Amino acid sequence: MVSIQQPAQAFLLFDQGPDTGSVRLTGDLTNMTGSTNWADKVDLFYSSAVVTDYLFFTGLNPADNSFTTMQVTLRSDASDSPGAVIATESVDATNFYVYGADPSNTYYEVDLKLTTPWTLSSGTQYWIGASGNGFDAGQLVMTPSNSSLADGQLAQFDGSTFTGMNTIGDQAFALEGTPTPEPASMVLVGLGIAGLIAGRRK
């Protein structure tokens, strides 16, 4: 007998994509790993999770602009600004889709699959960004409608050096992965299983 294993389902953990608000900048910001690049706030609020994919949004066509690899970086928070680097890696940037369009622009989603997934804790603020390795990835900037993290500010870097906050808008991006049960939830699951076993014995 052959069993077919279904791939684990990825959940949308954090969404600040173009359709969650209005695109603020029709010309994307320069975004290169070795020069000007950006990061924005993330807080998963309700559940810890393992992040497997960073979804990057740009107004540049990756095929026409030779997207190869992108550096994805996770930083801690230091008094509402980026802190120490927690994780960083170069990720294949050739997996992309036409995400959507408005009357004058087409937007693309680049699916950056992390080689080493990130474990983020609930109720903890992080800073996350992705930039082109040797090319301009064009950071799409927007104003989210409902995000409590939407403050109209991006953290600006020159290479790896934080240079300050820029009030141009918020980064268009999303995170996919798997929520991890809280300890209290695991206890409830364990009690439920124990109850089922006890019921069968009777």
Query: Which domains are assigned to the chain?
Result: 11-201 (2.60.120)
Is residue 174 over pLDDT 60?
Answer: yes
pTM: 0.84
Distance in Å from the first CA to the final CA of the chain: 33
- Judged by average pLDDT, the poorest of 7-11, 52-56, 96-100, 104-108 is 7-11
With H, G, I as helix, E, B as strand and everything else as coil, classify residue 144.
Answer: strand
More confident residue, 50 or 3: 50
Output b/e per residue, 87-121; b: 16+ Cβ within 10 A: eeeebebeebeebeeeeeeebbbbbbebeeebebe
Share of residues in the chain with pLDDT > 70 (%) = 84
Q: Tell me the average pLDDT across 176-202.
A: 58
pLDDT tens digits, residue range 100-131?
A: 877 778 999 999 999 999 999 999 999 999 99
- Alpha carbon separation from 118 to 37, 114, 152, 193 (Å, rounded): 21, 8, 26, 29
* Rounded Cα distance, 126 and 10, in Å: 21
Residue 202 confidence (pLDDT): 52
pLDDT tens digits, residue range 127-171?
A: 999 999 999 999 999 998 877 888 899 999 999 999 999 999 999
Is residue 67 over pLDDT 90?
Answer: yes
